[in-house]
Amino acid sequence: MKARETRSRGERAVLAFLRYGDPARILRRALDADGWTLVAWRPATLHHRPGAGVTGIFPVEVSRTEPAPAMSPPSMPTHVCITSCAVPGAARPSGPESRVVDSAGGGGELTAWVHPRDPLLPGLPASLDPDRAAGIGFGPGGTPGDAVVEIRSYRPLRRAVVVVRVGSERRYLKVLRQGAAGPLAARHRLLRNAGVPVPELVGAPTLDVLALRSAPGTPLAELFMADGAAGLAPHELVRTLRSLPGDVLSLPARAPWSARIRDYGEGAAAALPAHARRIRRLAASIDDAVRASSAGPLVPSHGDFYEGNLLIDDGRVSGLLDVDAVGPGHLVDDLACFIGHLAVLPGLHAGYSHVPEALTRFLSVFDTYVDLQLSAAGPPRSVSPWLPGRGTGRAATGASRRRSPASWSRSNSSRKAGGPAPHAACGGAGTCEPSADLRGLRARRTRDT
């Protein structure tokens, strides 16, 4: 308990520094190493991983320092990342693929790097270079024509997804930590051989980047927005989970989201300090209820089962995405993760007006398979929407009949380097989607020039 509180205090200090402090000195040092001068910066998109640290992604404007270092990359930087997360010393070389700068401040040691040279994602620079990305996604030499890359999502120090398009064809590049691409490729092969509709691999991993073909179907999130996914039977989702082969049980087990409820509560408390006491009390009640409930038998589990990882075609699951966490688990956690995500969609976008009715429909069916109702479900319903992360396992059902609080707005005004930092808030429980400033960032290069 004391260790969690100590980490929480440190993370609150970092959050305060990245929101309200003046990071110009750290930004400048990171850019100077690559031969760039900081001209202006804007408030960061913040990514808080309770118990692990906080990362801020700062949009920057730069000018070229003269003379430029001989090994400096040619493209102009647009973002700099600053993190309090642990970065092993071995990941801090001064070479052109990964330049980082350490600095004290904000409650502890901070590490900074110029995007895209994430020190734990060695394949990210290649994946965002049009020529190299085309080679990874389409084979040696790529395909003649225009190669366009777009970053779809980015979780600093953890993973990224990049889309590379050549003509009408597209490939998805999953950028992973060193040594992670091989095991994930093996998962894809295992599942495809069992008939599970996961995306098809394109060749062997390169630089721990996994290239995947597009899977068919419509994202389930779009169907929820259109009509509440009226054409999808909830039983189809259970059928998909039960189609995972028994060999999955031999894979390494990962703790469900519900195992970190108190950490998520600390994240919420850091974002909403005025409500910290209530949040911690409610998080504790959720944790106690989950621990007192039965999870049921151990079965093959997806581990991150929600609408963003599902494609639907004619009422069937045609694409099951993000199988990184596939392994031994519990059906109740997969279904609760799905319900928890579904419950907060109306609070994220007004277009999800059909979700409350869909939520009732899916809950009524899922309850015939597992017990999604916690005995202490009352208080959790008021705190679950605040809990950060991609879902909270069985505890996520607490959000089932409550909308997410309105997200905070984030200032987008530019500031001159070294100027005062106005309030820079982020949505929900202090966890902004870290790719918000990067999603849609494109690079194009004509391959025959």
**3-class secondary-structure state, position 194:** coil
Residue located via tokens 């920057």? 60
Residue whose pair of structure tokens reads 């169907």 in the numeric block = 223
Residue 398 predicted with pLDDT over 60: no
Phi, psi at 57, each rounded to 5°: -105, 110
Q: 112 and 146 share a domain? A: no
For residues 389 and 101, the model is more confident at: 101
Q: Please give the Cα distance from 45 to 427 (Å, whole number).
A: 9
Indicate if 93 and 141 belong to the same structural domain. no
User: pLDDT tens digit string along 212-271?
Assistant: 999 999 999 999 999 999 999 999 999 999 999 999 999 999 988 888 888 888 888 888
Boundary of a domain, candidates 161, 185, 213: 213
In a domain, 432, yes or no: no
Based on the fold, state whether residues 43 and 112 are members of the same structural domain: yes
Place of tokens 């409820």: 261
For residues 325 and 355, membership in a common domain is answered with yes
Residue 431 lies in a domain: no
pLDDT for 100 equals 60
Quote the domain boundaries for residue 93: 2-117+409-424
Q: Are residues 196 and 280 in the same domain?
A: no
Whether 248 contacts 328, CB under 8 Å: yes
- The answer to whether 160 touches 154, Cβ cutoff 8 Å, is yes
Span 413-422, pLDDT tens digits: 333 443 332 2
Residue 191 corresponds to which tokens in the numbers above?
A: 């599942």
Query: What is the tally of structural domains in the chain?
Result: 3
Amino acid at 425: A
Asked whether residue 290 is assigned to any structural domain, the reply reads yes
Residues 244 and 382 in one domain: yes
| 320, 346: one domain | yes
94 and 112 in a common domain: yes
Do 184 and 235 have their domain in common? no
Written as one string, the DSSP assignment of 312-350 is: EETTEEEEE---TT-EEE-HHHHHHHHHHHHHHHHHH-T
423 token code pair: 């309030």
pTM here? 0.80
Domain match, 48 and 81 both: yes
pLDDT at site 93:
46
Domain boundary among 168, 187, 213: 213
* Domain shared by 97 and 177, yes or no: no
Per the listing, tokens 């060749």 go with: 203
Distance separating alpha carbons of residues 111 and 3, to the nearest angstrom: 22
Are residues 369 and 263 part of one domain? yes
C-alpha closest to that of 83 among 43, 44, 130, 133: 44
Q: Rounded to the nearest 5 degrees, what angle is found at the Cα of 84, between the Cα atoms of 83 and 90?
A: 80
* CATH number of the domain within which 390 lies: 3.90.1200
